[in-house]
Structure 1
């Protein structure tokens, strides 16, 4: 759900992440304990093997051609700055079998469940409106990870100073994603007819614009 004015080669200025942001511990619907780690200091703060794994997963997401508008995968350097250069969260399994942390050497295929970023959707006087990009990994399938990351997004975005959230390109045939956001209080505030040529549809697919206030 890329920002409206966003190009992977550019980055809009974003507010600094407050020091009060700490890892979020929760459980999946199968009772697996997980931790969502805020990434506030860029890709250099993450294990290289984890970024390579997430880059491969995101590249496959683009190749599948169903959820993101890009037609070609990004190179590694571009991806790591695009995804982690502003603010991001990484969700991993943390239990007795897989000790806590984002240390080098973990089996990311088993423990990494997904990631999301938070960025300004517009520049300047409208930069208090944010946008998020999300994807889950194969280890997350049918475990409710999308819903957990959505709740975490709603927790961290206001702490970053954002007042409203808008997702510009939620494709109408991505029913699971639409259901998650509606369950979390988002509303469809617009529609772009025939916005996308997707691999899972013979017809052009509408893009939904989904928004929600982040202010109580």
Structure 2
């Protein structure tokens, strides 16, 4: 669900400024939660760019994202991007990585260390960035990736809830997903469950590998500011 003015294959200008932010501690504190199976998960915010991630993790996520693009069902890109470009594209402004923890707490304190088994322990990742520039930059967009080993475990809902936690802390007021392909039923159900609504449709927007016909794209949105907060 790339930002509406984004071209991931050009050399981008410096990342846009985020809206007014909370304190760094609010944005850098990991979230601990559980999957629907009860397995513990930690979601780590990445606030200082791709260089703060273990190289092995960045390589793993690049491979997973490349495979997702090659499947041709969820992102509009037709070709994977180079590794050197991926880190800045995904983590250049603000990102989150979801990692499986062991029930006995064995991983407690290890955080995002280089020696972790990412194929088993990394469940997914998402980024948050402005959907529009300038005067409209308080409207955000996000891209989500669930890793191959984490399918059907409720990781999408866990990351969606974390997104709704962090996006308002980053100063965003509204969320827009520009390209949620209509035949991606699981994704649509997640966003409906989390209170998003379909606010538009682009007929025949995508040529996808899982459909012989052109697929409509849904535009999905949600207000990030509680209605009672708007009155103060």
Whether the 8 Å contact between 1:17 and 1:40 is mirrored in structure 2 is no
Q: Which residue of 1 aligns with 2:51?
A: 44
How many pairs are equivalent? 216
Q: Distance in 1 between matches of 2:160 and 2:74?
A: 16
Query: 1:57 and 2:100 equivalent?
Result: no
Q: What runs of 5+ residues in structure 1 fail to find an aligned partner?
A: none
Q: Which residue of 2 aligns with 1:125?
A: 135
Q: Which residue of 2 aligns with 1:78?
A: 85
| Deviation per residue, 1:55-94 (Å, 9 max, x gap) | 0000000000000000000000101110010100000012
Q: Which residue of 1 aligns with 2:218?
A: 208
Q: Which residue of 2 aligns with 1:14?
A: 17
Q: Which residue of 2 aligns with 1:68?
A: 75
Structure label with greater radius of gyration: 2
Residue aligned with 1:52, SS: helix
**TM-score computed with the length of structure 2 as normaliser:** 0.91
Deviation at 1:168, TM superposition (A): 0.1
Deviation at 1:17, TM superposition (A): 7.0
Q: Which residue of 2 aligns with 1:164?
A: 174
Deviation at 1:142, TM superposition (A): 1.1
Q: Which residue of 2 aligns with 1:3?
A: 3
Deviation at 1:7, TM superposition (A): 1.3
Residue aligned with 2:79, SS: coil
Q: What runs of 5+ residues in structure 2 fail to find an aligned partner?
A: 227-232
Deviation at 1:141, TM superposition (A): 1.1
For 1:152-191, list aligned pairs within 5 A.
152-191=162-201
Query: 1:28 and 2:35 equivalent?
Result: yes
Q: Distance in 1 between matches of 2:31 and 2:122?
A: 15
Q: Distance in 2 between matches of 1:132 and 1:98?
A: 31
Query: Please, what is the CA RMSD of the aligned residues?
Result: 1.2
**TM-score computed with the length of structure 1 as normaliser:** 0.97
For 1:68-147, list aligned pairs within 5 A.
68-95=75-102, 96=104, 99-100=107-108, 101-147=111-157
Whether the 8 Å contact between 1:98 and 1:111 is mirrored in structure 2 is no
